[in-house]
Amino acid sequence: MDCLYGFACNPCSFACPHGAITKSSTSTVPHVDYDKCIGCMECVYQCPGLAIFGYDLRKDNLFLPIEYEVKEKEVVYLVNNYGERLGEGIIEKVLHKPNKTNIARVKALDVHGEDLVKVRGFVVKENYPQPLDLEPLLKDQPGATFICHCDDVTLDEPTNPENPDIEKEETYMRVEAKVLQWNLVSRDVILE
Ligand code: SF4
Ligand code: SF4
């Protein structure tokens, strides 16, 4: 799971039928109890942030969330969080659920065992046959603090007088509307 910032999101904690995922509050990151997890992948479907990944180390299968169209049987480069190639795989199946995150079930061809858990995504080989031109990491550069990642609202945005585009009240309303929307989503998940 790559959910590193505690923000107002929690479908994963309602998704797990075995109670393996908990969030103590909306401002903390989720906790996974792997002793309870049976690998059903329901949480991968339910995570809107594409932050949960599934691995079957015995069968070299990866369950990777995707938000674009891919074809089954395509050969892909398996990549880590930095876009670096780790090996190759083949998309065996694209799993869909209405209004949920799609999952590509990918068979790893030359990555095995514990190395599989380094894989976080893939690049379709035919589309990008050349090595990717990777930019340096931005993680060490100072950046804005976000109070809402869904609409990219930064901490200083509501009060920054140099922000001519967004009125103060409008920004607060957007944040409140987003929180309300998440509450409704959470309620729907409970009712499902
Ligand atoms: S894979 Fe299934 S059992 Fe495991 S944490 Fe996700 S929802 Fe729960
Ligand atoms: S649903 Fe996904 S993005 Fe939201 S808290 Fe859970 S792991 Fe993080």
| Nearest alpha carbon, ligand 1 atom 8 | 16
Per-residue pLDDT of the chain (192 residues; tens, 9 = 90+): 999 888 889 999 999 999 999 999 888 999 999 999 999 999 999 999 999 999 999 999 999 999 999 999 999 999 998 889 999 999 999 999 999 999 999 999 999 999 999 999 999 999 988 877 777 766 666 777 777 777 777 877 766 666 555 555 555 555 555 555 555 555 444 444
In whole angstroms, what is the distance from residue 173 CA to residue 123 CA?
A: 38
Could you tell me the distance, in angstroms and rounded to a whole number, from the CA of residue 47 to the centre of ligand 2? 5
In whole angstroms, what is the distance from residue 23 CA to residue 13 CA?
A: 6
State which of 12, 46, 181 you would mutate to test the pocket of ligand 2, scoring each by most atoms of that ligand within 8 A of its C-beta: 12
Average pLDDT, the chain: 84
pTM of the predicted protein model = 0.74
47 CB within 6 A, ligand 2: yes
User: Which ligand is closest in space to the CA of residue 51?
Assistant: 2
Closest Cα partner for 63 from 72, 55, 74, 71? 55
**Residue 19 half-sphere exposure toward CB, CA atoms < 13 A:** 0
Long-range contacts of 92-99 (CB under 8 A, 24+ apart): 92/61, 94/66, 94/70, 95/41, 95/45, 95/63, 97/45
121 CB within 6 A, ligand 2: no
| Nearest alpha carbon, ligand 1 atom 3 | 37
pLDDT score of 70: 94
Phi and psi based region of residue 44 (left: phi greater than 0; alpha: psi -120 to 50; beta: remaining): alpha
Closest Cα partner for 120 from 16, 4, 37, 10? 4
DSSP H or E stretch at residue 176? helix 168-191
20 CB within 6 A, ligand 2: no
Structure confidence by residue, pLDDT tens digits, 27-76: 899 999 999 999 999 999 999 999 999 999 999 999 999 999 999 999 99
Could you tell me the distance, in angstroms and rounded to a whole number, from the CA of residue 63 to the centre of ligand 2? 16
Residue 43: CB atoms within 10 Å: 24
DSSP 8-class letter at 53 = -
1 CB within 6 A, ligand 1: no
In whole angstroms, what is the distance from residue 45 CA to residue 84 CA?
A: 25
The C-alpha R_g of the chain, in whole angstroms, comes to: 19
